[in-house]
Structure 1
Amino acid sequence: MFAAFVNAFKVKELRSRLLFTAGIIVLVRVASNLPCPGVNSGALNQYLTNFSQEAASGGVMAMVNLFTGGALEQFAVATLGIMPYITSSIIMQLLTPVLPSLEKMSRDGESGRQKINQYTRYLTVLICIFQGFLAAAAMADPSRIGLPSPHLPLYVGSQTVFMLMTIIVLTATTMVFMWLGEQVTERGIGNGVSIIITINIIARMPQAVTQLVEMTISGQTMSGATFKPVQLLLLFAVFIAVTAATILLTQGYRRVPIQMVRKTIGTQVMGGSTYMPLKVNFANVMPIIFAGAIMMVPGPLFNGLAQFTKGRDWSGASDFFLSLGTLFRYHSTGYMVLYGLLIMGFSYFWVASQFNPIQISENLKRDGAYIPGIRPGQPTADFLDQTMTRVTFGGAVFLTALALFPMILATPIFGIDFLVASFFGGTSLLIMVGVVLDTMSQMESHLTMRNYDGFLKSGRLRGRNAIQ
């Protein structure tokens, strides 16, 4: 494997792609550490020091801070990161099978895809403006989102000017990140947008390792529980096991045999036996993202209703809403149960919206291909639908366990800090594993095309996009 990395710099094209990607990564990390204009850095650091419980226990702010590589802690120009573009892309993917006009565009080839990409960029701008306004309003007055009020203002100058300037800067940075991601995909190595997210996640790893070392030296976890060196070794073993399981989940698929009619085109004979891969984790990280987005709503909503009804004539309403808010508190049993059920449900929802067995059956019939033992047409569609449902169940159970495992580690029982626990599963580990496999697969393709050995002595890497 190390020889393959050395050989990568011997290939001129691959070397230039790697250096170009490295340059973009440096720009992204600089933006993640450059505060927005008008931010009172001293007051912000003091406020975050006094209010660290939410970041230590997880939740919305901690997850956003992880995906932006710590940009939220400094309210950097990259606070929104690339996530608004990811959100708009997901929305467009969900709307394409629903809206006939978008579905027609997706079938129009390159011109249709360009139109959909253009609509995605427009939607990204709208999402950036909305999220930028929320971020600016939260900086102007954190109590608006249920956080304690700071002793000193977190901004300097006029509040109106600060909010307007913040919205413009955050929106512009996200659009630049989107353009940089496209440049990496075209001129670099790997998927640019995914690499930007992965680099931001990996940037938090040194801090997680530092916290592990501090817990080992002090002998206590964040919750005050005993932490011994043997537990550190156990965590490393668990990390390796979970990473291996994530790779299996990402790479696993069910082979459906396909028999194609042999055709002679020129001097080549086309057809024969092949197979159709049905991915175990067809939805990838989408169910976790959808479930997490929905679970952001109940807790703040019920807490807000409790504050609204407090002191009014509605007897018992405030206590009732507070109890509901406690039920949906991060790491609570009710939160985890509902979160797991949502992941299971969205796994099937994503497959139902993106996997079309009827269309696949028609394509097979048109190309003269069939599944041995299954009649073409509707029986083939029923077989594919039944097989995909069974495969999805196993993948959904595995994905749910992987998403809940970091939350279990971060409960008071184990007392592991959220930043450390986030690398033991969930969205961050799935993204890192998928992007690393995809990038290494592309690098291996460049090497093998030029008669160099790849990363594996036998077999080949399969990236996320290698199996379609």
Structure 2
Amino acid sequence: MASAAENMAANMNLGNFAQAAELKNRLWFTLGALVVFRFLSFVPLPGIDPVAMASLFETTKGGVLDFFNTFSGGGLERMSLIALGVMPYITASIVVQLGTTLVPSLQSLKKEGESGRKKINQYTRYGTVLLTAFQAYTIAVGLESWGASQGVSAVVEPGMLFRMTAVVSLIGGTMFLMWLGEQITSRGIGNGVSLIIMAGIVAHLPTSLAKVFEGGRTGTMSPLIIIGVLVLAIGLIWGICFMERAQRRVLIQYPKRATQRGMMQADKSHLPLKINTAGVIPPIFASSLLLLPLTIAQFAGTASKGATDSTGNEILLTITSALQHGSPLYMALYAAGIIFFCFFYTAVVFNPEETAENLKRYGGFIPGIRPGKHTETYLDYVLTRVTVIGAAYLTVLCLAPEFLISRMGIPFYLGGTSLLIVVNVTMDTVSQIQSHLIAHQYGNLIKKAKLKTGRTTR
């Protein structure tokens, strides 16, 4: 551990960083792209009344719109050109990824290498356009009727022209963000789409911290509670760092082979199984499904007084009141959703049968386990036990902030999902920077070796 920390410190020192011109250019490009993203979040759609939009959005606090507004950096609250953010692209990517395990034609494409990957990416883009168009039209229609019961309208001139303009604008905004994320991945420091989501979440952190400290100043929050919240946040960040790096390493052994000296040597390697293979997908999906009824009720105006004039409205209002943040039913369903999607998505991204077949093809085997079906059963058994730990970790991580949000009024965007995304992306970004620094050092060593070789030859 000490040597690893010393190596990381050596790779991240300022002297090495100052000499890495390519890395600095990549960092400046990434920073500029994120600044463009933040500017776009303040450009409203044509035909939107910003004042009316802000007042109407206040009525949806705690709904799914508030959840996705966090990921768009406040763009949904202002109904900007990038109000949908990159969520349609992520949803389309997940659907296509599911298809590669369920649809035979997509399975064959996945095995074709680079050409198959390009076709899969093309299908993902097509799916993003279709999904964005559907969501944009739904939002445009909803905006026209939103607030009718209160006599407020966020749309200046409702009609088909506004709907078509909103659809085209939102498609353009989402596709531009998708392109911007790809540029950050290729010309920046990587993880383009993830960095865009993280930038939207981090943009809210100063406001959330200001609200917490303002509560302590005005006396609405006890100083002990504020200290407890900060300690809990630090503890959750440490726990995320530990669990996201944790893995179960399965020993893989290969047959003995002859070396140059005629000796027989057996190769060994490890198959890493992450504790949290599903990543941030389970809490996002579980939150979206649970918050959807509340959002529908808020759009329909059933949450306002006098909205119980029909049996349908009464049923919807009863459901939404039972699914409020912090309620026992909400907590139970949220935990069940996280656990379900943990196992479901892990089964999608890791195929024990395919892994066992690949090991058998290249002569690898797990000591004490026969190749083929027995290896598949063993990997499935180990992965299930690991996923139980990962599901428990995600459940505790997401339910602890939810309890604080409902009991103490902590802002929504300090939830476990937001922390999970921010810490994960930060760790990956630091790893990318470290990789660039190591590559730069190797390049310098190769140049020096060539110079010395040239001098010796002379």
- Judged with a 3 Å threshold, the aligned counterparts in structure 2 of structure 1 residues 398 and 162 are, in CA distance, closer, same or farther, namely same
**What is residue 215 of structure 1 aligned with on the other side?**
215
SS of 2:427's equivalent in the other structure is: helix
Amino acid at match of 1:285: V
Correspondent of 1:418 among 412, 421, 427: 412
Deviations 1:204-261 (A, max 9, x none): 11111111121111110xxxxxx22232222111111000111122111011111122
Quick one: which amino acid aligns to residue 348 of structure 2?
S
Residues 179-194 of structure 1: matches in 2 within 5 Å?
179-194=179-194
Q: Is the 8 A contact 2:65 2:295 kept in 1?
A: no
Tell me which residue corresponds to 1:109. Answer: 113
2:365 to 349, 370, 395: 370
Distance in 1 between the 2:273 and 2:327 partners?
Answer: 35
Cα distance 1:121–1:267, how it changes in 2: closer, same or farther (>3 A)? farther
SS, match of residue 451 in structure 1:
helix
Q: Which residue of 2 aligns with 1:121?
A: 125
Q: Which residue of 2 aligns with 1:456?
A: none
Partner of 1:59: 63
Structure holding more helix per residue = 2
Q: Residue 4 of structure 1 is aligned with which of 4, 12, 17? A: 12
The superposition leaves residues 372-398 of structure 1 with CA deviations (integer Å, 9 ceiling, x where unpaired) of: 111212111111110110000010011
Mapped partners of 1:24, 1:212: distance in 2: 30
> Rg: which structure is higher?
2
Residues 331-359 of structure 1, C-alpha deviation per residue, up to 9 Å, x if partnerless?
Answer: 32111101111111111111222221121
Change (3 A) 1:236 1:300: closer
Structure 1 counterpart of 2:325: 330
The structural deviation recorded for 1:200 is 0.8
> CA contact under 8 A between 2:110 and 2:120: conserved in structure 1?
yes
Aligned residue for 2:435?
A: 445
Would the alpha carbon gap of residues 371 and 322 (structure 1) be closer, same or farther in structure 2, given more than 3 Å must change?
Answer: same
Aligned match for 2:86, one of 79, 82, 98: 82
Mapped pair 1:244 → 2:238: yes
Change (3 A) 1:265 1:108: farther
Q: CA distance change for structure 1 residues 230 and 310 in 2, over 3 Å: closer, same or farther?
A: closer
Alignment map for 1:149-164 (pairs within 5 Å):
149-164=149-164
Q: Which moved more, 1:190-199 or 1:297-306?
A: 297-306
Residues 1:262 and 1:19: Cα distance change in structure 2 (over 3 Å): farther
**Cα deviation, residue 53, structure 1:** 5.4
Q: Bigger shift: 400-409 or 268-277?
A: 268-277
- Deviations 1:260-292 (CA, angstroms, capped at 9, x unpaired): 224458899996222111110011111112222
Matches within 5 A, 1:269-284: 272-284=267-279
Shift of 1:305: 12
Structure 1 runs not aligned, ≥5 long:
221-226, 453-468
* Structure 2 residues without counterparts, runs of 5 or longer: 1-8, 443-458
CA distance in 2, matches of 1:83, 1:378: 39
Distance 1:346 1:60 in 2: 18
Q: Which residue of 2 aligns with 1:464?
A: none
Query: What is the match of residue 13 of structure 1?
Result: 22
- Which residue pairs with 1:387 in the alignment? 382
Partner residue of 1:346?
Answer: 341
The change in CA–CA distance for 1:37 and 1:298 in structure 2 (over 3 A counts) is closer
Contact 2:251–2:271 (8 Å) recurs in 1: yes
Q: Aligned residues, how many?
A: 429
Q: Which amino acid aligns with 2:421?
A: I
User: Contact (CA 8 Å) 1:290, 1:346: kept in 2 or not?
Assistant: yes
SS in 1 for 2:249: strand
Specify the SS of the correspondent of 2:269: strand
Q: Which residue number corresponds to residue 228 of structure 2?
A: 234
SS of the aligned residue for 1:260 comes to strand
Shift of 1:327: 2.1
Alignment of 1:169-184 (within 5 A): 169-184=169-184
Q: Give the whole-Å Cα distance in 1 for the aligned partners of 2:388 and 2:364.
A: 27
Q: Aligned partners of 2:255 and 2:409: how far apart in 1?
A: 60
What's the counterpart of residue 287 of structure 1?
Answer: 282
How many angstroms apart in 1 are the aligned matches of 2:433 and 2:296?
47
For 1:321 and 1:184, locate their aligned partners in 2 and report how far apart those are by CA, in whole Å. Answer: 43
CA separation of 1:111/1:176 partners in 2, compared to 1, >3 Å: closer, same or farther? same
Deviation string 1:106-143 (CA, Å, 9 cap, x unpaired) is: 00111111111111101100111111112222322214
Amino acid at match of 1:52: E
Q: Distance in 2 between matches of 1:271 and 1:25?
A: 49
Q: Give the equivalent residue in structure 2 for 1:406.
A: 401
Q: Tell me if the contact between 1:181 and 1:191 (Cα under 8 Å) persists in the aligned partners.
A: yes
Q: TM-score, normalised by structure 1?
A: 0.85
Identity of aligned residues (%): 39
The answer to whether the 8 Å contact 1:257/1:274 transfers is yes
SS at match of 1:156: coil
The answer to whether structure 1 residue 25 and structure 2 residue 31 are counterparts is no
Report if aligned partners of 2:252, 2:365 keep a CA contact under 8 Å in 1: yes
- 1:10-37 Cα deviation digits (max 9, x unpaired): 2011111111111111111110111122
Alpha-carbon distance in structure 2 between the residues aligned to 1:322 and 1:219? 34
Counterparts of 2:227 and 2:287, CA distance in 1: 30
The secondary structure found in structure 2 opposite 1:15 is helix
- Checking the alignment, whether the CA contact within 8 Å between 1:259 and 1:272 is kept in structure 2 is yes
TM-score by length of 2: 0.87
**1:75, CA displacement in angstroms?**
1.2
User: Match of 1:78, SS?
Assistant: coil
